[in-house]
Structure 1
Amino acid sequence: MDAFELNAEKRTATGRAENRRLRKSGRVPAVIYGGNGDPVMLSLEHNDLNHHLDNEAFFSHIIKIKINGGATEEAVLRDLQRHPARPFIEHADFLRIVAGETLRMSVPLHFAGEDECPGVTDEDGVIQHNMNDVEIECLPRNLPEYIEVDCSKLHLHDSVHLSELVLPEGVEIVELMGDEDEQTDRTVVSVQVPRAAIELEAEEEAEAEAAAAEAAEGEEDDAGEDDGDSGESEGEDSDEDK
């Protein structure tokens, strides 16, 4: 796959004050670690990094990081910290990759065929995404940009599980690795009855139950009145007999 490229500068000073200074100057504190090297503290140009983040593929691609204009490290984005209220990136973590060594990454799921799915077009269902990404394990050279989920043949109440995904060669899903009793074959996507329809059905059932209860109560009241009338008649007859 094509790699993204970032220019980075080494930094030696650390701490909150230094990080604040970097951010004010338009740079993002970062670190690269793992692989066969020691952790290296870096800083990146904020706007450049932010531009790359607009591309979904950046989160699951190999990134070439050129340090101080010289040596280049290959890595993947491992973690990203954003400001909770402002559109700023506060820190980035990169994991080195080593050819021949597997790595674990979360890659996005792309859902295909939703518009032609029989459960939606013919049976008035709606697509429900239970997962938007999946953690995989593979060699760096096999790292996919995304994994496609085919929804084109799903009927109402059908679903696709992790074990049913078509994976690129050399790619495994972490949740399906190991012994069977350790695996978690989660639902990825399903076709369900729309929530509005479920709520309407529940409302209609509640109204029907209320009407039935009211009718039953009315019948009990009528029966009680009939019993009272019978009592009075019997009393009158007794007086006449006397």
Structure 2
Amino acid sequence: MPEAIFNLDAEVRTDLGKGASRRLRHADKVPAILYGADKEPVALTLAHNKVFQAQEFEAFYSHVLTLNIGGEKVEALVKDMQRHPYKPKIMHLDFLRVDATHTVTTNVPLHFINEEKAPSIKTQGGHAEHHIADIEISCLPANLPEFIEVDLMDVELGQTLHLSDLKLPEGVSSVELAKGEGHDVAVVTVKAAKGGAAEDAEEETTEE
């Protein structure tokens, strides 16, 4: 993965408003805002082609980026991205300043592994039903993972994995789980194929 995608040049902009943003987009620039860390928000512009190349990498959304703003290097996370409804164009970016000594809260993607090798799927005819694609985590910037793995190898037919079943890296906690047991949401379920032997047996049991 090119390290360059985590370094983006940005310029401070003083020309604000919808008209200014429209002019920037016509000039292949992306308007952005940088906020957080108890500092004043700063309006920025970035080269559209650089941002577009970077956002094609999954890690762009969960990795600490470096913004080069007039010679100053600022570490930040992408907190929001607005896209054009049908053109391959990024309309606006929100960046959150990162302080190495303060925890950050952000969403990271889930990577489901061993889905094709799991006996419940490979030999027992089950299929994985993904309930969520990412989770919200809290950690220090240095501990921020690019993704969280969800291993399906030992998941049995009819079994559901919840947030509490995930193995989070050291120093990383789930924001939802911190709210209490009622927030232990389902992540993935291995379900029997419709009309499969397992489902037929279940129906017979129900009828009895």
Structure 1 or 2: larger strand share?
2
Q: Matches of 1:59 and 1:178 in 2, distance apart?
A: 24
Please identify runs of 4+ aligned residues in structure 1 that moved more than 4 A. none
Alignment of structure 1 residues 1-242 onto 2, 5 Å: 4-68=6-70, 70-180=71-181, 183-195=182-194, 197=195
Segments of structure 1 that go 5 or more residues without pairing to the other structure are 206-242
Shift of residue 65 of structure 1? 0.2
Q: What amino acid maps onto 1:17 in structure 2?
A: G
Contact 1:123 1:155 (C-alpha < 8 Å) held by counterparts: no
Contact 1:118 1:152 (C-alpha < 8 Å) held by counterparts: yes
Structure with higher Rg: it is 1
Superposition RMSD in Å: 1.8
SS in 1 for 2:61: helix
Contact 1:59 1:77 (C-alpha < 8 Å) held by counterparts: yes
Higher relative contact order (CA 8 A, sep 6+): 2
User: How many residues are paired up?
Assistant: 196
Q: Matches of 2:178 and 2:85 in 1, distance apart?
A: 35
Q: Deviations over 1:169-211 (max 9, x none)?
A: 110001110444xx4111111111235x38xx89xx9xxxxxx
SS in 2 for 1:137: strand
Structure 1 or 2: larger helix share?
1
Q: Matches of 1:67 and 1:119 in 2, distance apart?
A: 52
SS in 1 for 2:54: helix
Q: Matches of 1:61 and 1:119 in 2, distance apart?
A: 34
Q: What amino acid maps onto 1:186 in structure 2?
A: V
TM-score, normalised on structure 1?
0.77
Q: What amino acid maps onto 2:47 in structure 1?
A: E
